Amino acid sequence: MNYFIPFIILITVVVFIHEYGHYYFAKRYGVGVTDFSIGFGREIFGWNNKFGTRWKICWIPLGGYVKFFGDRNVFSQAEQLEVINKYSEEDRKKLFILKPLYQRSIIVAAGPLANFVLAIIIFSIINMLVGKDMTPAIVNDVKIDSPAYIAGFKKNDKILYIEKKKVQSILEVSTFINISTSEIINFKVLRDNQEISLFVKPILVDGKDSLGNKAKKRIIGITLSPLTNEFQKQPLGPSKAIYYSFKEVWFVTTTSLNYLGKMILGSADSSQLGGPIRIAKITGQVAEYGIIPFFSIMAYISISLGLINLFPIPMLDGGHLMFYFFEKVLGRPLSQKTQEGFFRIGLFLLVSLMFFATFNDLKEIGLF
């Protein structure tokens, strides 16, 4: 229960923001919205607003949806005419399928984009109120015969870049090392006022993350410590806070895409891919550390939800955007047979991904 409640709060907020992105632009462009649901399945409770939208909470809290007035898949001109003829001229103005292509695209894309905006807002508030760590990454010790020792690391080296990523905090070093999928990692360090490039081949070990969960870690054999034994957290002004928030969202997005690409090619550790069980566990563990860590993990989950929904897979927002792209290029929607083929492929991919992620979750908790 300690894990379940924080998870439900987090997923409800993230899903609500996503669906509200769709809802906001649908209303802006005059599309009728009949349902705004958090969760799937049977309704627990709900209410109708003055525009006729049913806002409701349902039993299965793993998602949500916004249902448009007259919503259905329309593959051909004949089917479209059939739908149009069912409604009066006034009601036709509320039909999503009759809106210009650019408006339909914005409405669909607004959900994932809302998730990115939520993450930027959360990171910005944290950067302004709590501050961002700016402690230089100074090497305090190099373990004898370790990968770092072999590569030429020395005490008091200041790490400037890892794989061309600028290191602005001591806390980023471990992150950059572990997200790298390169066999040999390029470090740039400052030594005696000179920049030196060092190439390190990390070793992979079974360890634990900061929450105590099993994780494979890449280590190089160095110990870092602040010069004054204190971390230098600096509260930022609004402009800098937003700037670093954009950078964090961009970093998480590109890193996730790189990891997924490497995983598909077989060069990344697929055991780190988790599903709802792992997310719920990590959310509960993070929540025990306080409200700031909880909102931080909410931002990261929001980015993940937005990114996944932009994948060009039918049934996801990215799949609809892919169809709209073909519609723009061809001057007409794809045929019913073609769209149905894409939907079958999309369903197979989603089910496979969910099965694989859930298998990893169950394996981690010892059921496999």
**Domain spans, the chain:** 4-129+301-364, 133-234
Catalytic residue among 19, 172, 248, 364: 19
Q: Could you give the 3-state DSSP secondary structure of residue 109? A: helix
This prediction has a pTM of 0.84
User: In whole angstroms, what is the distance from residue 19 CA to residue 56 CA?
Assistant: 12
What contacts 24+ positions apart, CB below 8 Å, involve 92-99? 93/30, 94/30, 94/31, 94/32, 94/69, 94/70, 95/31, 95/32, 95/68, 95/69, 95/70, 96/26, 96/31, 96/68, 96/69, 96/70, 96/71, 97/70, 99/29, 99/30, 99/31
Which CATH number describes the domain made up of 133-234?
A: 2.30.42.10
State yes or no: is 19 an active-site residue.
yes
Q: Which amino acid is at 64?
A: G
User: In whole angstroms, what is the distance from residue 100 CA to residue 119 CA?
Assistant: 30
pLDDT, one tens digit for every residue, the chain (368 residues): 567 888 889 999 999 999 999 999 999 999 999 999 999 999 999 999 988 899 999 998 888 999 998 776 555 555 667 777 788 888 888 888 889 999 999 999 999 999 999 999 999 999 999 888 888 889 999 999 999 999 999 999 999 999 888 998 888 898 898 888 788 999 999 999 999 999 999 998 876 665 556 667 888 999 987 766 666 778 889 999 999 999 999 988 988 888 787 777 766 666 666 666 767 777 777 878 789 989 999 999 999 999 999 998 888 899 999 999 998 998 888 877 888 888 888 888 877 777 777 766 666 655 55
User: In whole angstroms, what is the distance from residue 368 CA to residue 356 CA?
Assistant: 13
Helices 101-129 and 238-264, axial angle in degrees (round to 10):
120
CA distances from 88 to 83, 91, 164 (A): 11, 5, 60
